[in-house]
Structure 1
Amino acid sequence: MITWLRIGIVFVVLFAVTLILLPFQLIGLAFDLRIRRYIPRYWHRAACFLLGVRIHVHGTIDRRRPLMLASNHVSWKDILVLGAIADVVFIAKMEVSEWPIFGTLAKLQKSIFVVREQKRRTGDQVSEIAERLAADEIVVLFPEGTTSDGNRLLEVKSSLFGAAAAAVPFTKQGVVHVQPVAIAYTRVHGMAMGRYHRPIAAWPGDIELGPHLLGVLKEGALDVDVAFGETIDFRTGDNRKHLSQAVTSRIRRMLLKHLRGRDYETL
């Protein structure tokens, strides 16, 4: 009974927060004001707090621009976590825009939706990514292309870094800074999660969203470590496969380190 009461309170409070912030975000989107960039951070922080997701940050986001964050992808909660840490914009599959609730939220954050199967639209999509990077927005890419079980890094698709390569000519200094990020869900109710319990946090694509979301709400206490690695400068003429290999190596190293457990600082 107490669990369902808490879940009800979470929904009511988050709905209230959404109603308060929504008018300001809509105005920001309508007139392309800078306010649209940082209002989502307040919403994401409120959502993480209400869901019981405690964020522990290691390292810092590179201050240089243009900046692309390349992160492993475990769950829809990754969006909340990274969005709570910084003012970021996400690159997402076009299908996400059609999802109930999550699709609307993605549109309100002005996510960049891409259609990977339609090469004829690649130019327009890359141009939008380049414009957002040139406008000093922090763009987040999940180069695995899908979610994992949280215990490992899936194969990183070098083709997805084509956006960074194509954006380089549009930047002032002829460089895109690509910073690897590792997201590791490590504890539930303060206890080490381990491989067996990590599916509580992870959301592989074959698991229905509804039951998974309900499971997260019932737990109400998850710890996630977010590590920011050494930035890689990608310039004209650089090989995107080499970039992919370097990013993969750094994400995997940070992910394993935090899954095994280390001291951390709380956001």
Structure 2
Amino acid sequence: MIGAIRIAVILGLFVSLVISLVPFQYLFVKARLGWQQSLPRFFHRIAAWLLGFRVKVKGEIVQDRPLLLVANHVSWSDIVVLSSVANVCFIAKSEVRKWPVFGTFAVLQRTVFVEREKKGRTAQQASDIALRLAGGDAMVLFPEGTTSDGNRVLPFKTSLFGAAHAAIREAGEEQVIVQPVSIAYTGVHGMPMGRFHRPIASWPGEVQLMPHLKGILKEGAIDVEIRFGEPMRVSADTSRKELARIMEERVTTMLQSSLMGREITPSAEDQ
């Protein structure tokens, strides 16, 4: 009974937050005002608190631009926690646009939607991302292409890494900064989560969104560690496949460091 009341209160506060801020973001986006970048961070900071995420950050996001952030992907909540600590925009699969509520949020955060299954559109989609990079937006790419179980990093797909080269080629940039980011769900109610309890936070594709959201609300206290790693300065000569490999290794090392609670030395190939 108490749990149901708590969930109802949180949902009520969340609805109030949406009603209060979403109309302003709509106007900021339409008018292309500077607040269109910072209001989502304010919104997600409150949303993360309501959902019970306790976010810890290690490292810093690079301030130079153009900047492409490359992160592992565990759950829909990655967007909430990452947006709560930095002014970022996301690259998401086209299906997200059709999701109830979350699709609207994605549009208002100026998400770039891509159709990963249509290989013929890869160049155009990379070009769209490149224009946003050249315009100063810090874009977040989830190169796994799907969500994982939160205990590991899935192989990175290389296709959209071409956005970095497209920004150099089409926008006249000399180089693009690519920075690895890891998102680790590490604890619940102050206790280590462990790999067998990671499904509390992780959201594999076969799990329905609303039951998973209800589970998050029921727990009410989930620890998340976000790490911003060592960036790479990418030029026109940088191999896309090599870039993806290095980013995958760095994200994997950071994720395992967060999950194990101790620093792991990067592989010799990445040093």
Classify the TM-score, shorter chain: over 0.9
Do 2:37 and 2:88's aligned partners in 1 also have CA atoms closer than 8 Å?
yes
- 1:18, CA displacement in angstroms? 1.1
5+ residue gaps, structure 2, are 264-271
RMSD: 1.4
5+ residue gaps, structure 1, are none
Do 2:126 and 2:160's aligned partners in 1 also have CA atoms closer than 8 Å?
no
Do 2:158 and 2:241's aligned partners in 1 also have CA atoms closer than 8 Å?
yes
Alpha-carbon distance between aligned partners in 1 of 2:250 and 2:210, rounded to the nearest angstrom? 33
1:116 equivalent to 2:116? Answer yes
Aligned to 1:165: 165
Aligned to 1:37: 37
- 1:212, CA displacement in angstroms? 1.0
Alpha-carbon distance between aligned partners in 1 of 2:170 and 2:199, rounded to the nearest angstrom? 41
Matches within 5 A, 1:1-267: 1-262=1-262
Moved more, 22-31 or 228-237: 22-31
1:65 aligns to what SS in structure 2?
coil
1:184 aligns to what SS in structure 2?
strand
Moved more, 164-173 or 51-60: 164-173
Give the total of aligned pairs: 263
Do 1:161 and 1:240's aligned partners in 2 also have CA atoms closer than 8 Å?
yes
Do 1:134 and 1:170's aligned partners in 2 also have CA atoms closer than 8 Å?
no
Do 1:66 and 1:171's aligned partners in 2 also have CA atoms closer than 8 Å?
no
- 1:118, CA displacement in angstroms? 2.8
- 1:262, CA displacement in angstroms? 4.4
Moved more, 100-109 or 113-122: 113-122
Amino acid at match of 1:159: S
Identity, % of aligned positions: 51
Alpha-carbon distance between aligned partners in 2 of 1:120 and 1:260, rounded to the nearest angstrom? 41
- 1:261, CA displacement in angstroms? 1.3
- 1:51, CA displacement in angstroms? 0.7
Moved more, 119-128 or 49-58: 119-128
- 1:172, CA displacement in angstroms? 4.7
Query: TM-score of the superposition, structure 1-length normalised?
Result: 0.95
